[in-house]
Amino acid sequence: MPSITAGTFGFPQRISFWPIDFSIFVYPLNSIPNARCYGWRCICQSLLQQATVLLTLLLAFSVLSGQTYASDAENHNELIIELAPLLSDKKSRSEALDRLIASSAPRTLSWLNALLAGELYVRKSDSLPVVGVRSGKRYALTEAASGTEAGDASKSELKKVKINNAIRGQLRSAIAALALRDPDPKVRLVAVERMLQTLDKSEVTAIQELFPEETDTDVKALMLLATQLSDLDSGDAQLTIETINAIGVNTRDQVTQRLKKLADSESTEVAVAAALQLEVIEKRKTLFSRIETVFFGLSLGSVLAMAAIGLAITFGVMGVINMAHGEMIMLGAYTTWAIQVLLPGLTEYSILLALPAAFIVAFTAGVIIEYLVIRHLYGRPLETLLATFGISLVLQQTVRTFISPQNVPVSNPSWLTGLWQLDPALSLAVNRVVIFVFCLLIFITLMWLLKYTFFGLKLRAVSQNREMARALGARSNSIDAITFGLGAGIAGVAGVALSQLSNVGPNMGQAYIVDSFMVVVFGGVGNLWGTLLAGLSLGVINKLIEPWAGAVLAKIFVLVFIILFIQKYPRGLFPQRGRAAGD
């Protein structure tokens, strides 16, 4: 989700035409106009009030008009000092915020953004409102009103100005209004987008006012839409019909909502035009929603395939039933976490660093497990199953004891968040697309490794006929160890990717083990292509069933489907043929 951060607006902006901030004088504290007064007393009172205000104004003008920007900030500073505690208090929050917004002081925008981002604090020692940006254990401070640096502080020296959803909504609207003149077209786009959600009179006027000056085509198109939407609300039948046609097929919710209302309107002409347009829009939306479902399916499939590829090697190629496969995924995910903890400044690149690190960690773990346990159990599948199950429990409890029974937080780098907006009604999550591509990359690399390298050749030879391969000089022991390590290493790499989607905790491996076996068996044991296709198709099948059967039943249906499929084709989608199948 694109969010506006303080950095975007981190420069002073002058919005008001007045050189000084009046609001503090116009509404002195405790002088809320008295609504309940009668007769001459009332007149006197209000006259007196007005006179006071005028006098203060004149005074203020004479004192301040000649002064510089610094004193301007000072006044503003006083306003924030006065209002910051009110913002922390639930009852006075909204009113205080209104006053802050109305003050239209030069740096309003920058600290409104800080407030929205949760970075506005009050320093306890001198009640100075500051913007604090966390760096390591301390916070780097800048004065909220003037923007000058104010050293740093620890968390306990600061009191956060808390906000809630109501305030956030108010803030976003206020920021949108101020950001409409921002030089950055992206910021303007977000501002108009925000206004479309509410679109009251003042917002329409503001947009229309700026429309002729707008140079960016995207922003301009959105501004035009805002005008058109307000035309749809106008109630003028002729204008409404013209606008309906002018908007054309637009899948935005705001358009659909208005058309739905218009389809029930009294004027038949309007109702017919709206209903016709609505039908076309709904058709397109249905199409998009189908595309979306397939994408969801492919994305789930890529997760399944990725979790299973490592197993396809250990189980599929080597024939080892490795119940600790899920824990190899867990090791990879914990490596990601460890790297983020060790290198706190590098969140953006931590994933890229974690990929090789996770491979090495899981590879090593795999080789050790193979050397200590599995080596002694070849040809005894039941014992291997039990032994690896034991290993998985040991690994889980080790993490629980030495790290924490709690999940650990793995943050997402910003380049992996956000949406890839193809249409208002169709957007793909960036991280899902990346993970899908990543899954294909792992797959291609592995294929290359197995088919076109000398190691791959030896691996295939050993897995097909151990004795013959040994007779020809392949050292089956070390090849077994490396192959098992490779399977584990790839599971570790999968863990890095999965840490971006799901929990990282001691139990996470359990969530993937059953699905992984399902994919490998469905795809055909010993066939990598089968694993990929099985993963993707199971994902799509699951997502196609889910909308009408619910998530619980969808899972059951998929399992039933696999059982039936295996009954008919016991060797999966791509059975091994020839000698390889003979064992």
Footprint of other proteins on residues 498-527 (CB under 8 A)?
A: 501-503, 505-507, 510-511
**What single-letter amino acid sits at 278?**
L
Beta-carbon contacts of residue 146 (< 8 Å; ≥ 6 apart): 70, 73, 74, 76, 77, 107
Specify the pairing of strand 128-135 against strand 138-143.
antiparallel
**Binding segment for other proteins among 231-239, 309-317, 356-364, 541-549 (CB under 8 A)?**
541-549
Distance between CA atoms of residues 380 and 321, nearest Å:
10
Nearest to other proteins of 128, 545 (CB atom) = 545
Listed as own residue / partner, the contacts of 56-61 with beta carbons closer than 8 Å and 24 or more positions apart are 56/25, 56/28, 57/22, 57/25, 57/26, 60/20, 60/22, 60/25, 61/20
Per CB under 8 A, does 302 bind other proteins?
no
Contact letters for other proteins, residues 6-35 (x by CB under 8 A) = ------------------------------
Tokens of 184: 């950055």
Q: Under rule CB under 8 A, which residues in 416-435 are in contact with other proteins?
A: 417, 419, 427, 429, 431-432
Please tell me whether residue 479 adopts helix, strand or coil conformation.
Answer: helix
* Residues 246-285 close enough to bind other proteins by CB under 8 A: 253, 256-257
Distances (CA, A) of 92 to 24, 100, 342, 439: 16, 12, 42, 52
Residue 400 is a binding residue for other proteins (CB under 8 A): yes
Q: 54 is written with which tokens? A: 């005028």
Q: Which is nearer to other proteins, 124 or 168 (CB)?
A: 168
Q: Which residues contact 95 (CB under 8 A, 6 or more apart)?
A: 86
Contact between 407 and other proteins (CB under 8 A)? Answer: yes
Query: b/e per residue, 327-348, with b = 16+ CB within 10 A?
Result: bbbbbbbbbbbbbbeeeeeeee
Q: Which is nearer to other proteins, 483 or 516 (CB)?
A: 516
| Beta bridge mates, 138 | 135
Residue 161 vs 313, nearer CB to other proteins: 161
Check residue 165 for interaction with other proteins (CB under 8 A).
yes
Residue 44 in the binding site for other proteins (CB under 8 A): no
Q: Which member of 14, 99, 162, 571 binds other proteins (CB under 8 A)? A: 162
Q: Tell me: does residue 300 bind other proteins (CB under 8 A).
A: yes
* Structure tokens belonging to residue 175: 């920021």
303 part of the interface to other proteins, by CB under 8 A:
yes
203 binds other proteins (CB under 8 A): no
Q: Of these, 178, 408, 496, 541, which contacts other proteins (CB under 8 A)?
A: 408
Residues at the site binding other proteins, with contacts judged by CB under 8 A: 1, 90, 118, 160, 162, 164-165, 168-169, 172, 253, 256-257, 289, 292-293, 296, 299-300, 303, 397, 400, 404-412, 417, 419, 427, 429, 431-432, 501-503, 505-507, 510-511, 542-543, 546-547, 550-552, 555
